[in-house]
Amino acid sequence: MKISLTINNKLTNIETPANRTLSDVLRTHGYWSVKHGCQTGNCGNCVVLVNGRAVNSCIMLAAQAEGKSVETFEHCESVSELQQLKVAIMDFADMECGYCVAGMFLSLKALIDKIPDPTEEEIVDALAGHVCRCVKEALPVDRILEAIRTSRGKF
């Protein structure tokens, strides 16, 4: 089937079988920041923004994104204002492999776009559903909050 969607502000027409997930289709088209993880919506590695909301693209069919705007981590990389936040999050969060960073970053971006000055509770809620295997204990939310505050006004 043919679907038409906007990926990172670029209108894109895609021919795909009806049963393919959005994560599969995005990776096929070179958006490698969308990671394969659990494929059940439990790890958050495949998160993208659809119409500004963070969603697990592994449990969403590409056909469901018809006519919608999809944003991946690649788009954030090209926005220089977001660099500060990304670097701050990686520095603060003691991450080693970086596999989960893209998904977490997009969830935080969706949160900050909606609530520029989030509370710790709102950050915990936004990051629930993300799994980081390097940070074995609970995610350092206080450090992430500090990173957001450090970056405030720069994105």
Partner 1 sequence: MLSNLKGYYHPKSIAEALALLEKNSGSILVIAGGTKLVQSQNDIVQELVDITTLPLNYIKKSNGTIRIGAVTPLQSLGGSPLLLDSVGHILADAALLSNHSQMIRNVSTVGGELVSSGPLSVLYCALLVLQGQVRIAGGEEFALPMNIFLNKKGLGGGLLVETVIPQLNEQTYSALAPIINNRGQIIICACARLTAKNGSCKDVKVAITGCPKVPQRLDGVEKQLEGQVMTEAHMSLAAEEAYEGCHPISDDLASEEYRKEVSRVVVKKALLSCLEQAEDDL
Which of 44, 88, 105, 112 forms a contact with partner 1 (CB under 8 A)? 44
What is the sign of the dihedral through the CA atoms of 77, 71, 104 and 27?
A: negative
Within 8 A by CB and 6+ apart from 84, the residues are 150, 151, 154, 155
Nearer to partner 1, 17 or 116 (CB): 17
Shortest distance in whole angstroms from residue 66 CB to partner 1: 6
Does 107 interact with partner 1 (rule: CB under 8 A)?
Answer: yes
Nearer to partner 1, 18 or 153 (CB): 18
Closest to 60 (Cα-Cα) out of 32, 35, 41: 41
Tokens 């919608």 belong to which residue? 68
Of the candidate spans 34-42, 77-85, 88-96, 143-151, the one that interacts with partner 1 by CB under 8 A turns out to be 34-42
Phi, psi of 61 (to 5 degrees): -70, 150
Of the candidate spans 53-61, 74-82, 91-99, 143-151, the one that interacts with partner 1 by CB under 8 A turns out to be 53-61
Nearer to partner 1, 81 or 120 (CB): 120
Does 128 interact with partner 1 (rule: CB under 8 A)?
Answer: yes
**DSSP character at residue 84:** H
